[in-house]
């Protein structure tokens, strides 16, 4: 049975979520159809452009993404504190990039409201927009509907493009966030469509390495108005709470070493004394490699320590979170 979104997302427990959406039709989201030989590679750029645009409009940061042939992954951070600081005008400006402005709100902005009741009603509408601009479901709706309409128009057809609702996975602590980001960034290497992280186009790791969001020369340089990926802030996270509390260099080094083992498709080992990030996380080489390769298949609903899982279950009206026993050895 399909679960309500409120039973899968609890912002009081974590602001980080892993989101997955899969294409339902045989026709690919991206890639090349082996039967028809038709290429859908250009749709990868649609996805990246839309993800980057929506992250600029919403108060939701993108920590990692990967656009695959028939699905995509997002790791996002919901920044409620930022949205609370927006002025009324900024909320309306952001909402106006997605939808038409309500007449009552237009009159409020133009100082032509006829009475206090109109003003109060307009303010209620604006506060609703403010909440929706921090809502993961609204983000995914604006991403998936846009791509579905564009793909259907290109394919000259109607009907569903996505396989039902998107899947969400709560990332309850720093270990879970980093492991999930690595799993997402290494998707093209696991699927054998890229040889190294440096060549894994249409992923966040490619963007972090090259400072580009695509391979298209005309649009690959990040616009000055585009919000960057959620940053690695290292030891400065106490002064700047919005960011990933590790070193970007350590993360790139670890991803490179992990990708090499996955690419060679044989049992490997990462020397933990050469990887500061593994020491910080308290994860051994064997567990890390298992996470990087099987995170999305092994864990569901939520990932974190037992205490965090218990709190998440309580706040989402569940008795327990499935898979908590598998998480005990790594995340406790």
Same domain, 54 and 118: no
pLDDT at residue 217 tops 50: no
Which one of 71, 101, 132 terminates a domain? Answer: 132
Inside any domain, residue 5? no
Domain that holds residue 44: 10-79+134-324
Inside any domain, residue 246? yes
Name the token pair of 246.
């590790």
Mean pLDDT to the nearest integer, 177-185: 95
pLDDT of amino acid 161: 87
pLDDT at residue 185 tops 90: yes
The Cα–Cα gap between 134 and 125 comes to: 15
Helix (H) or strand (E) holding 17: strand 16-22
7-16: per-residue pLDDT in tens? 678 899 999 9
Inside any domain, residue 332? no
pLDDT band of residue 206 (cuts 50, 70, 90) is very high
Same domain, 123 and 161: no
Same domain, 68 and 98: no
* Tokens 């506060």, residue located: 127
The Cα–Cα gap between 185 and 202 comes to: 10
273-298: per-residue pLDDT in tens? 678 888 888 888 888 888 888 888 77
Name the token pair of 40.
């859908």
Same domain, 189 and 219: yes
Same domain, 305 and 291: yes
Inside any domain, residue 3? no
Burial class, 312, CB count within 10 angstroms (exposed 0-12 / middle 13-18 / buried 19+): buried
pLDDT of amino acid 66: 96
Inside any domain, residue 2? no
pLDDT of amino acid 215: 54
Give this prediction's pTM: 0.90
Same domain, 90 and 211: no
pLDDT band of residue 234 (cuts 50, 70, 90) is confident
pLDDT of amino acid 3: 62
pLDDT of amino acid 20: 95
Same domain, 252 and 275: yes
Same domain, 155 and 194: yes
Same domain, 259 and 190: yes
Inside any domain, residue 191? yes
The Cα–Cα gap between 92 and 96 comes to: 6
How many domains in the chain? 2
Inside any domain, residue 1? no
Strand partners, 302: 170
Same domain, 187 and 218: yes
CATH code: domain of residue 195: 3.30.70.1290
Same domain, 34 and 112: no
- Calculate the alpha carbon distances from 237 to 15, 59, 233, 308 in Å: 15, 19, 6, 21
* Tokens 């846009």, residue located: 146
Inside any domain, residue 121? yes
Mean pLDDT to the nearest integer, 197-208: 94
Of 30 and 318, the structure prediction assigns the larger pLDDT to 318
Same domain, 146 and 276: yes
25-69: per-residue pLDDT in tens? 655 667 666 676 778 888 889 999 999 999 999 999 999 999 998
């Amino acid at each position: 049975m399909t679960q309500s979104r409120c039973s899968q997302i609890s912002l009081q427990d974590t602001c980080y979520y892993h989101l997955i959406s899969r294409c339902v039709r045989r026709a690919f989201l991206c890639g090349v159809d082996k039967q028809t030989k038709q290429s859908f590679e250009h749709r990868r750029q649609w996805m990246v452009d839309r993800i980057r645009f929506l992250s600029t409009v919403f108060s939701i940061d993108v920590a990692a993404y990967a656009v695959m042939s028939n699905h995509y992954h997002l790791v996002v951070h919901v920044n409620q504190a930022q949205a609370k600081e927006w002025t009324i005008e900024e909320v309306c400006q952001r909402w106006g990039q997605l939808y038409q402005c309500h007449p009552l709100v237009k009159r409020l902005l133009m100082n032509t409201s006829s009475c206090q009741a109109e003003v109060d009603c307009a303010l209620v509408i604006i506060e609703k927009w403010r909440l929706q601009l921090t809502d993961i479901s609204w983000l995914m709706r604006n991403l998936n509907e846009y791509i579905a309409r564009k793909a259907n128009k290109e394919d000259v057809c109607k009907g569903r493009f996505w396989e039902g609702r998107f899947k969400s996975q709560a990332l309850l602590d720093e270990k879970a966030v980093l492991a999930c980001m690595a799993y997402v960034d290494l998707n093209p290497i696991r699927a054998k469509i890229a040889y190294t992280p440096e060549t894994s186009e249409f992923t966040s790791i490619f963007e972090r390495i090259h400072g580009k969001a695509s391979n298209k020369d005309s649009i690959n340089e990040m616009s000055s108005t585009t919000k960057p990926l959620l940053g690695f802030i290292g030891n400065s996270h106490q002064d700047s709470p919005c960011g990933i509390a590790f070193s970007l260099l350590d993360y790139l080094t670890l991803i490179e070493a992990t990708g090499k083992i996955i690419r060679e498709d044989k049992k490997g080992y990462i020397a933990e004394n050469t990887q500061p990030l593994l020491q910080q996380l308290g994860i051994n080489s064997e567990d890390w490699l298992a996470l990087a390769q099987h995170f999305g298949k092994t864990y569901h609903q939520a990932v974190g320590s037992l205490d965090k899982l218990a709190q998440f279950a309580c706040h989402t009206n569940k008795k327990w979170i499935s898979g908590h026993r598998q998480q005990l050895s790594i995340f406790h």
